[in-house]
Amino acid sequence: MGMGAGRGAGMGKGRGAGGRAGAGPVGECVCPSCGYRMPHTPGIPCRQMRCPRCGMPMVRA
């Protein structure tokens, strides 16, 4: 058996959930209802944050 055979060594693509690449640590979270913008906090998905103005879940811009 060759070195690393059957282990998948080096086969990863660095993709996020669902095979998509992550958006990265920089950017903004935007409220789809009122348009309020705030800086994205690394490690916390925008959809888990609530708009301080209207309480809607934020989305990544």
* 39 found inside a domain: yes
Eight-state DSSP code of residue 8: T
Question: Is residue 12 domain-resident?
Answer: no
* pTM for the whole structure: 0.60
| C-beta separation of 26 from 40 below 8 A | yes
* Any domain includes 20: no
Q: Does residue 5 sit within a domain? A: no
pLDDT at position 3: 57
d(CA 32, CA 37): 10
Q: Per-residue pLDDT tens for 17-43?
A: 555 555 667 899 999 999 999 999 999
| 1 Cβ contact list (under 8 Å, min separation 6) | none
Query: Would 3 be classed as within a structural domain?
Result: no
CA distance 4 to 44: 35
Which residue type does 33 have? S
Residue with tokens 């934020």: 58
How many structural domains comprise the chain? 1
Residue-range definition of the domain harbouring residue 54: 26-61
The verdict on residue 17 lying in a domain is no
